Amino acid sequence: MTKRQVVFLLLLLTVLELYKLAQASDTSLDRSEKKYFFSDTIKLNWYKAVEFCRSRGMYLLSIRNAAEREAVVKYLESTGYPKTHDKFMLWMSANDVGEEGEFHWASTGERVNYLNWSNMEPNNFEPEENCVVLEYWAQGGSNCNYTFNDRYCTLDRLFLCETLLA
Ligand SMILES: [Ca+2]
Ligand SMILES: [Ca+2]
How far is the C-alpha of 86 from the C-alpha of 89, rounded, in Å? 11
Cross-strand partners of 37: 161
Nearest ligand to the CA atom of 96: 1
Residue 118 sits at φ, ψ, to 5 deg, of: -70, 165
DSSP tag of 117: B
Residue-by-residue pLDDT tens, the chain, 166 positions = 777 877 777 777 766 676 666 655 554 444 568 999 999 999 999 999 999 999 999 999 999 999 999 999 999 999 999 999 999 999 999 999 999 999 999 999 999 999 999 999 999 999 999 999 999 999 998 899 999 999 999 999 999 999 987 5
Residue 112 alpha carbon to ligand 1 centre in Å:
13
70 torsion bin: left (phi>0), alpha (psi -120 to 50), beta (else): alpha
In this prediction the pTM is 0.80
Strand pairing category for 145-151 and 131-137: antiparallel
Q: Return the closest-CA partner of residue 58 out of 164, 166, 165, 158.
A: 164
Nearest ligand to the CA atom of 151: 2
Residue 45 alpha carbon to ligand 1 centre in Å:
16
Residue 96 alpha carbon to ligand 1 centre in Å:
5
Nearest ligand to the CA atom of 119: 2
What integer pLDDT is reported at residue 10 of this predicted model?
74
